[in-house]
Structure 1
Amino acid sequence: MALAWLGIDLGTQGVRALLVTADGTVVGSGSAPLRRDRREGARHEQDPGEWWEAVCVACRGALRDTRARVGGLAVCGTSGTVLLADASGRPTTPALMYDDGRAAAEAAGLRAAGVEVQDSWALPKARWLTDHHGPGRLLHQPDVINARLVGRPVPADSSHALKTAYDVERDRWPGLTGLPEGTLPDVVRPGTRLGEVCPAAADATGIPAGTPVIAGMTDGCAAQIASGALREGAWNSVLGTTLVLKGAAAEPVRDPAGVVYNHRAPDGTWLPGGASSVGAGVLTARFPGADAAALDAAAAAFEPSGAIAYPLVSPGERFPFRAPQATSLLLGDPASDADLWAALLQGVAFTERLCLDYLHHLGAPLDGPLTFTGGAARSPYWTQLRADVLGRPVRVPRQTEPALGMAVLAAHGTGAAPTLAAAARAMTGPGTTVEPRPTRTARFAEPYARLVGELESRGWLPGPVAAHARDRLRQGEPD
């Protein structure tokens, strides 16, 4: 009987589970939608009970038609999503999602006290939750599922705890959080064994009782693991509802503005990156139920589009600049739905280029390969367009899902591979490479420069960063 590892991804719109063998063969998959998503102004909440319901459905789907033995599992979630629970780990509040914007005042207070956080990070949300709901135990999104799987509360992993301001260099919580005593959980490094699947969870999910549960990482880090981008200078661009860039470095990438943060890998190396509020979510918002493949084909006639977009999924931007007041931009009048679709696709790609320009401005290593993962990597047209805008080759791995990254981490955490990189090499496969088309890259230079100028003129993009992006554009440097 083959041995396989289960990766579970708690996404914004659904839960995905993959069962993967040591050579990267997917022997089972399952998914379930999340329908009780509440967006209203700055509010973005989900029901944590629905996460567990969806995990049960997705895992049963992944295990239904396979005879493989499950060697272990790991769970990833959206970074910065938190809620409060009672002492037994039962949720007592809705979950505040990664882009919930109601804790801006709490974030400002923390920054005034010397704690470096962004408005949408988990620590200010924890302050907001305790102020509005009373004391409780803070849980990150995967903590809810891991506790149900194991049958008791478990420590958080340091990757999800990072945006709760956990100090991953010193392995400790900050001294000034403003939270009631006992709110913050214990923390362990990703890859740590948290326990085993309990009988009740086994009955609900179909995962055999006794299966090791391994501490996971955020969805962005999970996708990075799935991409194989784990050597210094390599980067993974995860494009789903929003855009996340994650790289690998021997040392943390220092950013005085606090836009770029650094996760700690299981082996102690660093995974710098940032999360934008731009992403594919704007497509479903503007074109609900649309035939994406047909619009992709029609958009090819508009390169560049007659309009320039900065397509924020929700108000406020986090990367490549911090601007809580930022709103979506659409400069010009699209000639048609196809032209608007093209503008949105190109706007995301321009943001991606600006993110890489910002990382170069900070001195981050960028000389390794660039990979694309996330749902958008399934679109051949958008993948080629992004390569053209960036002006550099990109690799699309065989599997582009964070759930695969969690299967890899589970294999490493259970001792099946000596290092995380070794597990990733064995399980992720070579993928395909997409080369940029130089003539297309040249076409997009002028609209990219216009967007940079517009972001600077609005006071969102700092002048030195805008100047650096324009310098790189003039020099023709790949990002």
Structure 2
Amino acid sequence: MSGWIGIDLGTQSVRALAVTGDGRVLGTGSRPLTSHREGPRHEQDPEQWWRELAAATRSALRDLPAGERVEGVAVAATSGTVLLTDASGRALTPALMYDDRRADAGRVNEAGAHVWERLGYRRMQPNWALPKLLWLLRDAPAGARLAHQSDFVNRRLTGHEVATDLSNALKTGVDLIEERWPADVFDALGVPAGLLPEVVRPGTRLGVICAAAAEETGIPAGTPVIAGTTDGCAAQLGAGAQRVGSWNSVLGTTLVLKGVTKELIHDPLGVVYSHRAPDGSWLPGGASSTGAGVLTGDLPDRDLDALSTEAAARYRLGPGRVRVPPAVTYPLVSRGERFPFAAPGAERFTLGEPADDVERYAAILLGAAFVERLCFDYLDLLGAPVTGEIILTGGATRSAYWTRLRADVLERPVTLRENAEPALGMAVLAGGDPARMIRTRAVVEPSGADLREPYLRFVAELEGRGWLDTRAAEHARERTAT
């Protein structure tokens, strides 16, 4: 028997998963992480990452059956989290987390505009890794090295210097087409070449578990350590969205879409950017500021499962018998939208007047489904293939009514997986067979309910408020009509 270990090093916790080649979970472990936040500052202690990762893997392997071999391990980490280390891998600075916004992106966008334009995302944001690297370098000692979150722990696992993966290096400015650092950009910014790690594709072997790491983590010495990805790409791998035209739609606190294309997608608005897949294809995606996070704020202390049951009974879905909720809410979790359009001034609104909590609940669900549909309409406008499998993951899949509603709005069947967590994606990347490891729980067909007219009213409202580009709105209308 053989097993693989996937590790998801997140913001609030680190999770380890030991899984067999046929998707059977052998063991899990999870440990909390703490952050230090103050205004735009968000830091974590890299040493805590290692301590809790080691504890999580020991827990995951505690009941490993006798004779079970561990064939590989891979680590996923948060996108854009960086720190400086010395030549031995010891942390010289706290880790600046993915949403730390103390840096300024002006210099990097001036120096790297030609590269960022060619890569399709056009510009960097202040919370991306390269602006934060310049911020850290202001007081850096000689000989400092850049490390992404995954690099720091991979070095501890192997006991030697390691390359970084293209996925984690995206927000640090790596040229994903050439698969190397753009030397002219870093020279213009005054970043020493020796500060940067080598870059490899996700799935590349970095080394093996060293003796010291084996003692701390419980992972057998000699186990291959494989270059991982960012957490979003790991979730996509875990969901099984790996074929061109397939998409993983993650609806939790906010909505995130990630898919697979053969060619690099260029977005004039810069709201869609692409990672590089292990096989060289592209993984475009975008993150909306809308999602289920609105539910807890608007409906505090309410049983959301009970509201879902009531909404399903009140607004039955099916051909000729759908009763559309009388209101629809644009469910922004915070001010400003990032995808499928860029609108820093966007605010939440509701069309119609919900009479009770069930109508308020249904209005939020309907609005989130409409935003999801608009995301696919915009991706189609950019030339991305959107006709493949749509896999739904995230907390929203707990609601059978919401899942069927999303299928009806998309006018497409949607797939639910038994397990689609990022740690599973890393077990797959570590060498597992996705066809065997990733199991389908259900395929939900649309009921035949026609929700096109309220969708178009929603699109018109976004356009009328000046947030949605007219070209994108017109394309949504054309796709809906056909």
Instruction: Place the TM-score, normalised by the shorter chain, in its bin.
Output: 0.7 to 0.9
Tell whether 2:135 aligns with 1:128.
yes
Out of 142, 148, 154, the residue aligned to residue 140 of structure 1 is: 148
Q: Percent identity?
A: 56
Q: 1:219 aligns with which of 231, 240, 261?
A: 231
- In the TM superposition, what is the alpha-carbon distance from 1:465 to its structure 2 partner? 1.1
- Give the corresponding residue for 1:465: 472
Change (3 A) 1:344 1:408: same
The answer to whether residue 351 in structure 2 is matched with residue 352 in structure 1 is no
1:331 aligned onto 2:343: no
One-letter identity of the residue aligned with 2:158: V
Task: Say whether residues 1:434 and 2:444 are aligned partners.
Answer: yes
Q: Pairwise mapping of residues 166-245 of structure 1 onto structure 2 (< 5 A)?
A: 166-174=174-182, 175-177=184-186, 178=189, 180-181=191-192, 182-245=194-257
CA distance in 2, matches of 1:462, 1:108: 25
1:449 aligned to 2:456?
A: yes
Partner residue, 1:259: 271
CA–CA distance in 2 between the matches of 1:298 and 1:44?
A: 40
Aligned counterpart, 1:96: 96
Give the match for residue 162 of structure 1. 170
> 2:82, 2:97 within 8 Å by CA — same for their partners in 1?
yes
Task: State the 1:205 CA deviation.
Answer: 2.1
- Displacement of 1:250: 2.0
SS at match of 1:308: strand
For residues 176-220 of structure 1, the C-alpha deviation after alignment (integer angstroms, 9 at most, x for no partner) is: 242531443221111111122223322332222222110011222
- Structure possessing the higher radius of gyration over alpha carbons: 2
C-alpha separation in 2, matches of 1:282 and 1:382? 15
Structure 1 portions without partners, runs of 5+: 413-422
**In 2 relative to 1, CA 371–258 (structure 1 residues): closer, same or farther, beyond 3 Å?**
same
- Rounded to whole Å, the distance in 2 between the matches of 1:92 and 1:382 is 47
Contact 1:249/1:269 (8 A) holds in 2:
yes
Structure 2 residue matching 1:438: 3-state secondary structure:
coil
Quick one: which amino acid aligns to residue 329 of structure 1?
Answer: R
CA RMSD, Structure 1 to Structure 2 (Å): 2.9
Give the whole-Å Cα distance in 2 for the aligned partners of 1:10 and 1:365: 31
TM-superposed deviation, 1:409: 0.7
Q: Distance in 2 between matches of 1:348 and 1:54?
A: 35
Q: After the TM superposition, which of the residue ranges 242-251 and 16-25 deviates more from structure 2? A: 242-251
Taking structure 2 as the reference length, what is the TM-score of the superposition? 0.85
Corresponding residue for residue 416 of structure 1: none
* Alignment deviations for residues 229-267 of structure 1 (CA, whole Å, 9 cap, x no partner): 222211111234433222222222222333222222222
**Alignment correspondent of 2:157:** 149
- Aligned pair count reads 456
CA distance in 2, matches of 1:347, 1:45: 34
**2:290–2:330 CA contact under 8 A, matched in 1:** no
Alignment of 1:280-299 (within 5 A): 280-283=292-295, 291-299=303-311
**Structure 2 CA distance for aligned equivalents of residues 137 and 460 of structure 1:** 41
1:118, 1:318 within 8 Å by CA — same for their partners in 2? no
SS class of match (1:351): helix
Alpha-carbon distance, 1:289 to partner: 7.6
Do the aligned residues in 2 keep the contact of 1:126 with 1:179 (CA within 8 Å)? no
What is the aligned partner in structure 2 of residue 384 from structure 1?
404
Report the counterpart of residue 415 of structure 1 in structure 2: none
1:267–1:320 CA distance, 2 compared to 1 (3 A): same
In structure 1, what is the equivalent of residue 15 of structure 2?
Answer: 16
Q: TM-score, normalization: structure 1?
A: 0.85
Distance 1:69 1:290 in 2: 46
Unaligned runs of 5+ in 2: 117-121, 316-323
**SS of 1:411 mapped into structure 2:** coil
Q: Tell me, in whole angstroms, the C-alpha distance in 2 between the residues paired with 1:288 and 1:97.
A: 29
**How far does residue 462 in structure 1 lie from its aligned partner after superposition?**
2.1
Q: Determine the structure 1 residue equivalent to 2:77.
A: 77
**Measured at CA, do residues 270 and 376 of structure 1 come closer, stay the same or move farther in structure 2, by a change above 3 Å?**
same
2:249–2:393 contact (8 Å) kept in structure 1: yes
> What per-residue deviation string (whole Å, max 9, x for no partner) do you get for residues 288-315 of structure 1?
7864423433454575363512323x55
8 Å CA contact 1:306, 1:335 repeated in 2: no
Distance in structure 2 (CA, Å) of the matches to 1:311 and 1:85: 38
Change (3 A) 1:396 1:456: same
Which AA in structure 2 matches 1:235?
W
